[in-house]
Amino acid sequence: MSVIVVTGTGSGVGKTVVTAALTALALRRGSAAAVIKLAQTGLTPDRPGDVDEVIRLSGLTTTFELGRFPGRLPPAAAARAAGTPPVSLARAANLARELAESNRLVVVEGNGGLLDRYDEDGATAADLARTLRAQVLVVVRPGGDTVNHTALTLESLAHRGLDLAGIVIGRWPATPDIGDLSSVADLEMLGARPLAGALPEGAGRLDRRAFTETARESLGTTLGGVFDPAAFRQRHSA
């Protein structure tokens, strides 16, 4: 049994595609898996959300969305703006434990970054990971200010005594620039380990079969794939 909390250095880094990749590989191995999306923000109930994307890409059917709010805001603020109860991370923890009894892999996808608030008491994905004693997979974007954002996230993990499952680049560009290339070594230095994977930009537009093969090639062995960080560095050395 394994519970992984997927977080990011912010919004739009590719957490949902990475979540789908993890579950696609679990299903490919014949392992039962489940996904919990803590909160879907910025969408009305009639629109497909992140769990629908996970279903489309991986074929997984055991998925749960614990809250949906129309405002494109962090979860606590989105719930406040909607005038509805916030997501309960206690409920999320109980559900994850229950699912872990019958699934080899349970992936909990957070919103935004590690310390985004889910309720007025300030509960975060970090608190949930600590409650579950789960490893945390950090999804990042390459280049730009990713080094600073990743360093802050990893410091927060270490301060709370949480285990890092790895760092995955969620959207590696087809034509990386010098900033993208130079960030790879910095990310590995910050994590004190090789990259755990790099999903190509546009992976979320693939059909299920192609996506599963891409997931296998893009995630490392600890996550069920065959990604070789040394070969990746060699191909993309700055």
Q: What whole-number distance in Å separates Cα of residue 61 and Cα of residue 35?
A: 9
Q: How many CB atoms lie under 10 A from the CB of residue 6? A: 24
Closest listed residue to residue 135, CA positions, set 162, 104, 174:
162
DSSP 68: E
Query: Using CA of residue 141, residue 147, residue 150, residue 152, what is the dihedral sign?
Result: negative
What is the helix (H) or strand (E) element at residue 99, kind and residue range?
helix 89-100
1 has pLDDT over 70: no
Q: How large a percentage of the chain has pLDDT more than 70?
A: 99
3-state secondary structure of 169: strand
> Any idea which residue has 């994590």 for tokens?
191
3-state secondary structure of 59: coil
Condensed to tens digits (0 to 9), the pLDDT of residues 87-143 reads: 999 999 999 999 999 999 999 999 999 999 999 999 999 999 999 999 999 999 999
The arithmetic mean of pLDDT across residues 45-59, rounded, is 96
| Backbone dihedral angles phi then psi of residue 165, each to the nearest 5 degrees | -80, -20
Close Cβ partners of 55 (under 8 Å, ≥ 6 residues apart): 61, 63
Q: What whole-number distance in Å separates Cα of residue 33 and Cα of residue 37?
A: 14
Q: What whole-number distance in Å separates Cα of residue 167 and Cα of residue 191?
A: 7
List of domains in the chain: 2-235 (3.40.50.300)
Q: How large a percentage of the chain has pLDDT more than 90?
A: 94
Close Cβ partners of 196 (under 8 Å, ≥ 6 residues apart): 137, 165, 166, 167, 168, 219, 220, 222, 223, 227, 229
3-state secondary structure of 181: helix
pLDDT of residue 236: 81
188 has pLDDT over 60: yes
pLDDT of residue 235: 87
- Known catalytic residues are 37
Confidence of residue 202 (pLDDT cuts 50, 70, 90): very high
